[in-house]
Each structure stands twice: as structure tokens, then as C-alpha cells.
Structure 1
Amino acid sequence: MTKQSERPGHVPDSGKVALITGASRGIGYGVAEAFVARGDRVCVTGRDEAALKEAVERLGSARVIGVAGKAHDETHQARAVERVMETFGRVDYLVNNAGTNPVFGPMAELDLNVARKVYDTNVISALGFAQQTWYAWQRENGGAIVNIASVAGVSASPFIGAYGMSKAAMVNLTLQLAHEFAPVVRVNAIAPAVVKTRFAKAIYEGREAEAAAAYPLGRLGVPEDIGGAAAFLTSAQSDWITGQTLVLDGGISLNAGVG
């Protein structure tokens, strides 16, 4: 009889477990795909239970579970980590991807309640999940955290100031956690430019060729780009990397020096 590990297309279980927030679609789903492909067991979270169930099915692995809920909800954070521990017995990697950007306009007109919502979802939720995974597993056993920031957090981005402000805080949160969680847990961030997702489609929809032309590499990002980077930052090949923000922008930041 053919062993499971010898079946065509079978990926051996790596023994590692990842929790990925905001992963029913887009960047989070791309990260989940990369982790499943290398044999990790994965828990994905998201607000929409139906979309999350579909994502788990599309990932096509018995090693994947989903926990629905709002990222900023502390009860959801605790329940997600508890479910991971009950199901898999460990949580080696955390990818904080859940985020929102419900407002477009100048900072002078920004509704402060909206600003609070953006910060709560994009930053405080990441800290909450980091605390939960730290105490549940990583403090005693080690691991790695990857925070999904944005190029909007490392440079000014007109009309999405609230989002950029929150992502700048995510970059600093990465530094703080990297310092405090060392040497047992490495913490890094990824700062993507525009990635082709439903979240960002307002930026490029109907004008993708024009938008892509601004990038020296000639295209917009895709979720797989971020998934590969997250896989690297949680691998043994990155064991001497912590507190860093990896900018993935197709070279568009090079244009800042062109006058």
C-alpha cells in the first residue's frame, strides 16, 4: 500500500502551526496558501463565516481550520488561539494581516471615531493576538510573528492618512515586540505597495495597466508575493532577522529619487 507521504502532490506535515488573521481572501489567503504548501497546519480567521468556510475548503487541506470573528474583539482573539491550541497543541507562527481602510480623504476632515476604528482594527488587534500567542505557546517554546504593514506606513500617502498612520504604528509595534520578545520570538513586518485584492481594487480597477506602469517591475503585487515573503520570515533561513520591515513594492519607492 502507498504511504500517504509517497502520494503524488502530498506535502508532509512540517509539525509547525500558523495562525493567520484576516485570511478568508486577499493577502491573508495568499499567506495561508504558502504555509499550507510547505506543510504547516494553519488556522485562518475572518469576519465573514461563509467566506471563511469557503477559504478553508479552497485551501484543500485537512490541516486547516477557520475561526470567524472580528479581529479587534478580545473574546475572538482568545477564542481563536484557544481553538488552535485545542486542535493542534501549539502556535508557532502568527501573521497579523487583518485590517480595514473605510475612509478616503484629507486628515483635516478625518472623523476621529473612524480613526479610532482603523487604529483598533489595524494595530490593537495585532497586539492582542501577539499577547495571546505569547502566553499560550511562544513565550516558552519560541516562534515568529509577521505583521502586515504597508508602504503607506513608511511614507506619506495622500487621502489614506488614517490607514497610513495605523500602518506606521504597526511598524513601530514590530520594533517593540521584536525587542521585548527576543531571543525566543522573532518579529518582523512586511510593507507591501498595491496588491491586487478586493481590498485595494478601488486604486487600480479599470486602470490596471496605467497603475502598473508606475512600478519599475511593471506590475502590481499579488497575494503570492506576500505569501512567499511571510513564509521566508517564518523559516529557518531568516533565523537572524528580527525587528525589520521588508518593503515589497515592485520598486515604486525608487521613483521618489527621480526628479
Structure 2
Amino acid sequence: MTSPYGLRGRAAIVTGASRGIGLAVAEELCRAGARVCVTARDADAVGRVAERLGGVALAGSVADPAHLRAVTELALREFGRIDLVVNNAATNQPYGPLMDVDPDRWRAAFTVNVEAALRLAQYAWHGWMGEHGGAIVNVCTEGADHVGPHVGAYGTSKAALLHLTRQLAGELAPGVRVNSVSPGLVRTEMARFVWEDSEDELGAGLPLGRIGRPEDVARAVVWLASDAAEWITGADLLVDGGTRVRPRAGPATPCTTVCAPAHRTAAAETRVGAVSTPSQAPPSPRRPSPGSGGPEASEMTAEAFAGNGPWAASPAARDHPRLRARAGPPLDGRDYHLPGA
């Protein structure tokens, strides 16, 4: 089945494309007719993706500006153009209270989650888009708008990515559109430890009745990249199964026991006669002491923390057996993940 969003003849760069959401995005772009240049740190995996999709690949880290420049040059050399950029690679480290965060690891998070997206946009702009136009889509997270325990570095950097999206949209218009997609909990390998023992229960707590699939996010990305969204820029599209609209009353389930976002709680008011007084904020979720809870940092994915308030800050997330500290090295030994990988 061909995609209704025709991208035939266009060329795209997708980061973090060896698996998960990035892979699904690359596949959906190809289905729409685009040619893809994919990048990830796993050389064998990303090479197989490129071969299967008839594209090109270059392995490396998005934290390295030289790699991003080389990816841009490869796409221009092979395709002669760069019409689309999808910034998907990201990190959720460092994991823990901000008062304990190492400054170097904090900077590393912003290098991957924010600076890399800017660098690739710059290279694509100077190499092609500045003169010919195009579209950029940044993969963020539903949790960027919330406060959650132990995910301060991740949430702050993703909030910065959201602002960068809007800033670039303003600066690069009208020739280049810049938008973002924010996924909720998605069924990926790297998020398996969150959903594998409770997928039905987690999905039942969402208005749309299931957790997400990589292709759900991929279709949103391709739509924003296509001419079907030609009058949309500076927007963030939530792809979360209705996380923010689920009921807050009634029997609690792992996905309905939620904490109100901090900015909404602070703004809530009750009317007493003609006087407006702040309402009492709900109690904050119990924060585990260092080392007593939370996943191995590099095991947690963007999807797992999507909805830092609605899910990660809930008792369900706090007490989830797979979110407790695990012994041994991270599953893949990496310092950062590719969202949905």
C-alpha cells in the first residue's frame, strides 16, 4: 500500500534510524516515495536498514558535529538534495535528582537532545534548504511539558528542543517548515521493560485503549513532512493515545492515577465569594531515595517517560517492578538511546 503523502523525488535524513521509531519513520518515508539517508551508532544495523530501503547510511554519534556534517554531505552527494530532516536520536541520561547531576553529563544530554538537532538543521539549511526549501521534524516527548521524578535533565532538554522547534520555525519561514512530534508510551524493544508485563493494563488506561506503536509516530512525522501539512509550522503534534484527556476521577488504574502538571496546579484557583484563592495542590509523588528506585538510566526511553506528569510521576510508574534499580550493566551498554530503539 502506498502512502497518501506523496514525497516522490525528495530526499530525507533520519537520525536514530536503526530500529524503533526512527526505523519506522525511514520506512514510512520510503513508502511515500522519498529516498533516505539513515544514521545510527550501530553500523551493522543501520547498514541493513539502508540496504533494505534502497537508501544510504552512515554510522556515528549525533553528538559529533563532524558526523552530522558528513551525513549531510553524503545525502547531497548521493541524492543531490535534502528536502526533509527528522531529528530522532536522543538521550535520557543522566537519570536522577538534579542536585546530584554531574555537570558534564548534563551538558552531554543537551548536546544530543538539542544541539545535534540545531547542527543538522544548520548543515541542511546551508547545503540545500536555505535556497530550495524543505521541512524539519523533531521527535520530542509528551513529557516535555511536565515535571517528573529523576528525569529533570531529560525533560529540560526536551523542553528546550520544543522551544528550538518554534524558534527555527520562525527564523526559517517561509521556505522551511519546522515542527515536532511528541510520542507517549510506545511499544518498542527499548521500552519493553516498561510494557511487557502490563501492556494491556497500561493501554486500558488510555482513551484509545492501547499503547503506541512506532508506526503511529512515523505516520505523524511523514504527514508533517509532506505537503498535506504545508500550512503548519512551529507546531507540536501529540501522538499519545489521549494521555492528556483521560479521566481523573473514578477507580485508579496504572494510567489513570495521575499527577496534575505543575504549571496547571500552580495556576488552579477556587472562587470564595469575590476573592480568588489558590487551591490546594495535590501531594507530590513520593520520590525514591538515590539508588532505591528508577530504571537503569540507559534502559529508559523517550516513550517510557513520555508524560512525566501523567505517567512517570504516578504511583504506577513509581512502583512498577521494571522501573526499580537493576543490577549489572545497561541492556546495550550505551550512554544514550535512540527513541523507540
Alpha-carbon shift at residue 258 of structure 1 (Å): 4.6
Q: Distance in 2 between matches of 1:205 and 1:109?
A: 30
Structure 2: which 5+ runs fail to align? 251-341
Out of 158, 179, 184, which is 1:167 matched to? 158
Distance 1:164 1:258, change over 3 A: farther
Out of 246, 254, 257, which is 2:237 matched to? 246
1:126 equivalenced with 2:117 (yes/no): yes
Match of 2:33 in 1: 39
Match of 1:71 in 2: 62
Compare 164-173 and 48-57 and name the one that shifted more. 48-57
1:194 equivalenced with 2:188 (yes/no): no
Match of 2:137 in 1: 146
Compare 128-137 and 209-218 and name the one that shifted more. 209-218
TM-score (ref. length: structure 2): 0.69
Out of 15, 38, 45, which is 1:51 matched to? 45
Match of 1:5 in 2: none
The number of equivalent residue pairs is 248
Alpha-carbon shift at residue 17 of structure 1 (Å): 0.4
Q: Distance in 1 between matches of 2:190 and 2:127?
A: 31
Q: Distance in 1 between matches of 2:85 and 2:168?
A: 13
Out of 53, 64, 84, which is 2:75 matched to? 84
1:21 equivalenced with 2:15 (yes/no): yes
Distance 1:197 1:84, change over 3 A: same
Structure number with greater Rg is 2
Identity of aligned residues (%): 43
Secondary structure at 2:246 match in 1: helix
Letter paired with 1:48: D
Q: Distance in 2 between matches of 1:23 and 1:180?
A: 27
Structure 1: which 5+ runs fail to align? 1-7
On the 8 A contact 1:152/1:163 being kept in 2, the answer is no
Letter paired with 2:110: Y
On the 8 A contact 1:149/1:189 being kept in 2, the answer is yes
Secondary structure at 2:53 match in 1: coil
1:61 equivalenced with 2:57 (yes/no): no
Match of 1:205 in 2: 196
Q: Distance in 2 between matches of 1:107 and 1:55?
A: 37
Q: Distance in 2 between matches of 1:212 and 1:159?
A: 24
Alpha-carbon shift at residue 207 of structure 1 (Å): 2.2
Structure with greater helix share of residues = 1
Out of 67, 74, 95, which is 1:104 matched to? 95
1:178 equivalenced with 2:169 (yes/no): yes
Q: Distance in 2 between matches of 1:139 and 1:246?
A: 25
